[in-house]
Amino acid sequence: MADVASWRAQPITVGHANGTRADATWGIAVESPVAITFNGLPWTVMMATPSNLEDLAVGLALTERVLRDPNAVVGIDLSTYLQDVSVNMIVQESALDLEAVRARTLASSTACGLCGIASLAQWHQRAGEAVPRTAITEAAIRSSVLALPAHQPLNAQTRSVHAAAWCQPNGAISLVREDVGRHNALDKLIGALARASRLAEPGFIVMSSRCSYELVYKAVTANTQLLATLSAPTSLALTWARSLALPLACVLPERDAGPSIVHFPLDTPNTGLT
């Protein structure tokens, strides 16, 4: 597959507060149509950053519950024409929900959530997956949040992409994926964990975005002890976090000190924060 750049240089003019102007170059994040297929069978078209697309395909298939076993993916073929990219997963059919694959073609954008959900009834059927969780300290969350920018090379060039980070329980960041879409970034992260046989590994997720209900549901695909975001959750995100017993935290920047961590009680004996 020919390389598809994930960002491009764009000439700009900067007007400064003192009235001066200067020419400069700005990094623009690339957004490309990405077609995902199973054994050549069309499934979905995503608008995504064209990087780590194998991870995106596997992660999305897992979080949408179309793929039952990541180990059943025996190969992934990537091809490109101009800026359009195709990702074909070669999968043992026994590991696929073929009815779900054939039922609809998912037309998605970078703002999409759980694209395979056709109705609220289907969404409610996905509850009841809560698992035991251990506490993550505020010090660990603070440490991971402060370290995140150093793990975002694409955002350093563009200032316009989200990151999803997998963190060890002590806050050390071990894996990061970036994308113009926050949901895509999380799917890429989960796909990368799955491909490395790390889905059962204890840890927590930090994201450079607000907390939406879609992120809450996708996060529990991994053995996530907590989901931390840079902005507060929505009311629906809180509802589903309580349903799935997933502790949530967000970051409150302080002008003269380190960030404060805001956490949200789940009305359960273990909130996941200490």
Q: Looking at the annotation, which residues are catalytic?
A: 112
What the block records as the tokens of 232 is 């507060």
Structure-block tokens of residue 122: 């289907």
Angle between helical axes of 53-63 and 182-195 (0-180°, round to 10): 90
What the block records as the tokens of 2 is 């020919």
Name the pairing type of β-strands 73-81 and 84-91.
Answer: antiparallel
What are the residues facing 26 on neighbouring strands?
A: 10
Closest CA to 240 of 203, 267, 214, 265: 214
b/e map of 57-68 (b: 16 or more CB within 10 Å)? bbbbbbbbebbe
Which amino acid, one-letter code, is at 109? S
Cβ-based burial of 135 (10 A; exposed 0-12, middle 13-18, buried ≥19): middle
**Which residues, in sequence order, are bridge partners of residue 8?**
28
